[in-house]
Amino acid sequence: MQPDESGFTLIELMVTLAIAAILLAIAGPNFTTFVQNNRLVGQANDLVTMLTLARSEAIKRNRPVTVCARESDTACADDTNWDGGFLVFADANGDGVIDDGEEILQVRQALEGGNTLRSDATTSVTYRANGITGVADVVFRLCDVRGADAARAIEVSSIGRASTNVGAESCP
């Protein structure tokens, strides 16, 4: 007696491959959007986390703490372009520049995915010992290839609170 032979017929295999191809064609663009959205959310959250860290450290240390655009792991960039990442450091004199003896608390490397992060006019945000910035609201625009509609706006109020909103007025 011969055992039952089981397997796929050519027609079953072709139908399965056709269904898989249709599902991939539908899911592919949605997956790309999913990845882009998650990248933006993660990068926006990184900035908000750094700002929150700076605020809490300023209060804890009872001295200024600054977040600045990163030129290197030990120097701030004198630019409103924050694509290269950012630094948080204990800024003893509150001048927004890393001087000898000032401790670097956190470093965020450059943004991934070709995304851009620009501030409206500032190269750094300094929190005073009481946790406020004492300057007018600062707005950061985090953008990807999709432009302003998909962008994130990160706003820092004069009292030091950071928040994120979907959409930005413009993207570079």
Of all helices (H) and strands (E), which one includes residue 107? strand 104-108
Residue among 97, 122, 100, 101 nearest 47 (CA): 122
Predicted pLDDT at 147: 87
Predicted pLDDT at 4: 65
Asked if the model's pLDDT at residue 1 lies above 70, the reply is no
- 19: region left, alpha or beta (phi > 0 left; psi from -120 to 50 alpha): alpha
Predicted pLDDT at 149: 87
Spatial distance between the Cα atoms of 88 and 92, rounded to a whole number of angstroms: 12
CA distances from 51 to 4, 48, 82, 100, 158 (A): 68, 5, 13, 22, 13
Delineate the domains of the chain, giving CATH numbers in brackets. 10-166 (3.55.40.10)
The pTM score is 0.82
Predicted pLDDT at 29: 73
Predicted pLDDT at 148: 87
Band (pLDDT 50/70/90 cuts) for residue 3 is: low
- C-beta neighbour count of 166 within 10 angstroms: 13
The predicted-structure confidence for 113-171, as pLDDT tens digits, reads as follows 899 999 987 889 999 999 999 888 899 999 999 988 889 999 999 899 999 988 877 78
The predicted-structure confidence for 70-79, as pLDDT tens digits, reads as follows 999 999 999 8
- Look up residue 122 and give its two tokens: 């500032």
User: How many Cα atoms are found within 13 Å in the side-chain-facing hemisphere of 63?
Assistant: 11
